[in-house]
Structure 1
Amino acid sequence: MSAKLRVATLGCKVNQYETELVRQGLQRIGFTDCSDSERADVCVVNTCTVTAEGDSKSRQIVRRLARQNPQAKIVVMGCYATRAPEEVGALPGVTEVVTDKREIPDLLSRFGVVDVPTGLDGFSGRHRAYVKVQDGCLLRCSYCIIPYVRPKLESRPLEHIVEEVRRLVDAGHREVVLTGIHLGHYGVDWNRNKPKPQWIRLTHLLRRLCQLSGDFRIRLSSIEATEVTRELIAVMKDHGDRIVPHLHLCLQSGSDSVLRRMRRRWGTRMFLDRCRLFREAIDRPAISTDVIVGFPGETEAEFEQTLETCRHAGFSKIHVFPYSQRRGTPAAEMQDQVPKSLRSERVASLGEVERQLRANYFKSLVGSEVELLTESQKPIVRIGNSIEREQLLRGTTCRYAAAELVERAGHDCHSETGRLVKVQVTDSDSDRLIVTRTPG
């Protein structure tokens, strides 16, 4: 009987990628995934420490797995394991704590994996596959713990990434999401002491990936506004059939004074200028963002500046977070911590702005053609003068908007999920586009 494996992941796309890498490595020596009713021989928990809540959820999952799988070896990795290895090691059932993600090959070899994977062959349960291209962050934003637990910049070899994407496409994945701890710093660790003409950057990787054949598209995960260069925009424009017209630019605050306290590297003027450059080059691009509200000392005037900056940017989506004190960061020690009740009020206020901006953006797409990745499907039966059998396809468009497509059941092979379909936007509501298949 094969050994049984159960994995659990908290946090970012990079964590999800690294969990899948460990999972596939163990599958090479005969491990199989547990069903819900089976007990595991090995559990792997990939933890998050961005917030204290991430630590708490990580501990909860480890304790639950220990109760449900009393004989299992529990391996804990991830940023919480790096930040507090002794604390993690004291949790019930934990037999190993991986404090550095660069130790993953050593972890797998200790289990007997000889042929350690350099990338993924597929991404279980997902139509959109994440590909980690780099690790580490050198910045020291005052609210963020990640540079302390992932401080070393390390870019993956370009050819390893190219071959991995080729395998993922061959395995049927139609969207590849390039991700990293600081995606825009891909190649920076190689460029020290080299003249600028010899530098390797994210744009070089993108051009190389766009040369691959196959029916797939590329999306960039979170990137800093300073790294939205004219060269990057040009690559996206030149390869609009391959790279989706969407960027996720991390704003964090729309107030210059708050940005300075956050130790961000730019102000709102530069951020909005990069949004403008992107819109001038690409037709109706989607620009999403993250915003932290209630940062220490944030005044009502500073919050209003954030609202105005968001309106000016015209975001298609805003991920709104109330500020959370992260022990070990400079911001946690700052004076004038904003009361929780006021942070909640500001989350709600920015949420209203986000909904209006999203509705405006969705309306701007009505009448246009977009590309839909179908991700789920369910039958619909309409009973009137006759019985009509239809199917509802849901998915994500190239512009990072959820969409629904209703058509006759069994329309054609494209009715299967996990395919790219050309559709026209006919309408929208608060959280999705309504689309029809493009003729031909």
Structure 2
Amino acid sequence: MKLKTHTLGCKVNQYETEYLREGLASIGYSDAVDGEGADLCIVNTCTVTGEGDAKSRQVIRRMARENPAAKIVVMGCYATRAPEEVKLLPGVTEVLTDKRELPDLLGRFGVTDVPTGISGFGSRHRAYVKVQDGCLLRCSFCIIPHVRPDLASRPMQHVIDEVARLVDRGYREVVLTGIHLGHYGVDFNRLKPKSEWTRLAHLVEALANLPGDFRIRLSSIEATEVTRELMDVMAAHPEKVCPHLHISMQSGSDGVLRRMRRRWGAQRFVDRCAMLKERLDRPAITTDIIVGFPGETEEEFLETVEVSRAVGFSKIHIFPFSARRGTPAASFDDQLPKPLKQERVHRLAEVEAELRDEYFRSLEGMQLRVLVESKLDNGRYIGTACRYAPVEVEVPAELEGKFVDVVAGGLVDGKIQGVQ
């Protein structure tokens, strides 16, 4: 039996697809090679933007065209948001609207020993591990809480066992991910006294104490969840926990943040990042920023630029505002024209490049632990440092997928030159 999968969107989706692939492999499914028809196709969709919806539909139609005899199962946030729309697409035999039903889906296909996690992540050198699902926030621009509203944290022992398996299989970096990662444990804590609460810091601490040559990286987290407790764990385990946090800012303007229904102002965000820098040695701080939010003035955009400089981000994921039907922001007055949004994207991208190079240069002379990932055209290898910086190194082929310790040299074409 042959299987084809396609995943759009976030790290959580990638993990969930891998979970299904592994479960189906246990009953004889194998990945179809290029040009080979599949018996079963799984499409894991995204609905963060309208473009995500469109790409999801394109993939489903292509799967149906190329695999006319296949059953097509569609899951993911677009499937949850618009199941009736998805059912009408060619070849679709099932639409899964609730990710909590993944074990049941495997059972319907004949998997009797339903896994509690994964033990591999394809040919990648890093593995994503989903530890949490659901979001309680109601940011005015975001559709995700409408399609993944229920908080569900995985039992800590399941996560510990899964990470141990991945490390045993040779994965050197494990990325903890969730829909709202910083809310790990919140659902466990509702009926417990505060002294017995489980938090993300407790999970990271437990994983950092596992034996083996590996490191843990955290995916996106909110500023209010960068707690002293979490910073203490990161500082206590510098070899195991990457000194890098992706802290979602979205805007540096208090006016825009209020319209976005975010939970803090710009100064509080800056202060939390400053606290992180005081606790750790030159941590990498990356972020997401939406430009062109309804009503965003030139002054508010410049406030975002100013805050970005104050924090000193090493990378900014920049998104022009995309109105999502069903969210409050989609009906706000003062929607900005596309050319203005694109112009601000371009200007912020120039600032991002400047800040990135400035941060990378600040690492010169520092020892970095690099995960060697792939060979470049020049015969050298590219890898990712603990501080989420691309590093070019000259190493033998047998070190691909392993760690090397290098001293950060100069910057060439946006890549740090690693010196051994």
> What TM-score bracket applies, with the shorter chain setting the length?
over 0.9
Cα distance in 1 for residues equivalent to 2:67 and 2:225: 45
- For each residue in 1:114-158, what CA deviation from the matched residue of structure 2 results, as whole angstroms up to 9, or x when unmatched? 011110011012111000000000000000000000000000000
Q: Give 1:377 deviation, angstroms.
A: 2.3
* Residue 403 of structure 1, CA deviation: 1.0
**1:54 correspondence with 2:37:** no
Which residue of structure 2 aligns with residue 365 of structure 1? 363
Corresponding residue of 1:404: 392
Deviation sequence 1:372-429 (CA, Å, 0-9, x none): 000112575xxxxxxxxxx41111110101110125xx4xxx7431101111111113
- Asked if 1:191 is matched to 2:174, the reply is no
Q: Aligned partners of 2:125 and 2:44: how far apart in 1?
A: 21
Matching residue of 1:436: 419
Per the alignment, residue 286 of structure 2 pairs with: 288
Distance 1:232 1:416 in 2: 32
User: Is the CA contact (8 Å cut-off) linking 1:355 and 1:430 kept in structure 2?
Assistant: no
Alignment-mate amino acid for residue 363 of structure 2: L
The corresponding residue for 1:171 is: 169
Of residues 412, 422, 425, the one that matches 2:405 is 422
Aligned pairs for 1:172-321 within 5 A: 172-321=170-319
Separation of aligned partners in 2, 1:207 and 1:302: 39
Q: 2:122 aligns with which of 121, 124, 139?
A: 124
Distance in 2 of aligned mates of 1:237 and 1:249: 17
From 324, 327, 331, give the equivalent of 1:326: 324
**Structure 2 letter corresponding to 1:427:** G
Superposed CA offset, 1:244-287 (max 9, x none): 10000000000000000000000111100110010001111100
SS at match of 1:141: coil
Q: Which runs of 5+ in 1 are unaligned?
A: 381-390
Deviation readout 1:283-327 (Å, 9 max, x if unpaired): 111000000000000000000100000000100010111000100
Question: How far 1:430 sits from its partner (Å)?
Answer: 4.7
Alpha-carbon distance, 1:17 to partner: 0.2
1:98-125 deviation per Cα after TM superposition (whole angstroms, max 9, x unaligned): 0100010111000000011110011012
Q: Secondary structure at the match of 2:380?
A: strand
Does the 8 Å contact 1:26/1:108 carry over to 2?
Answer: yes
Out of 324, 327, 340, the position equivalent to 1:342 is: 340
Separation of aligned partners in 2, 1:329 and 1:88: 20
Distance in 1 between the 2:361 and 2:21 partners?
Answer: 42
Q: Quick one: which amino acid aligns to residue 268 of structure 2?
A: M
CA distance in 1, matches of 2:398, 2:236: 30
User: How far apart, CA to CA, are the structure 2 residues paired with 1:276 and 1:332?
Assistant: 34
Aligned CA RMSD, in angstroms, stands at: 1.0
TM-score, normalised via structure 2 length: 0.99
Gaps of 5+ in 2: none
Q: Which runs of 4+ in 1 moved over 2 A?
A: 377-380
- Measure the CA separation in 1 of the matches of 2:193 and 2:164: 31
Query: Aligned partners of 2:261, 2:377: CA distance in 1, in Å?
Result: 51
Q: Which residue pairs with 1:352 in the alignment? A: 350
Deviations 1:207-236 (A, max 9, x none): 111111001000000000000011110110
Q: What's the secondary structure of 2:127's corresponding residue?
A: strand
Partner amino acid for 2:409? T
Give the letter aligned to residue 189 of structure 2. N
CA–CA separation in structure 2 for the residues paired with 1:376 and 1:58: 29
Letter in 1 for 2:381: L
Count, aligned residues: 420
SS in 2 for 1:326: coil
> Which residue of 100, 103, 106 corresponds with 1:105?
103
For residues 145 and 332 of structure 1, what CA distance do their matches in structure 2 show?
A: 10
3-state SS in 2 of match to 1:264: coil
Percentage of pairs with the same residue: 64
Return the offset for 1:51: 0.7
Aligned residue type for 2:78: Y
Q: CA–CA distance in 1 between the matches of 2:366 and 2:209?
A: 27
CA distance in 2, matches of 1:378, 1:231: 40
Q: Deviations over 1:323-350 (max 9, x none)?
A: 0010000000000001100000000000
Q: CA deviation at 1:96?
A: 0.4
Q: Is the 8 A contact 1:134 1:183 kept in 2?
A: yes
Larger Rg: 1
TM-score for both structures, normalised by structure 1: 0.94
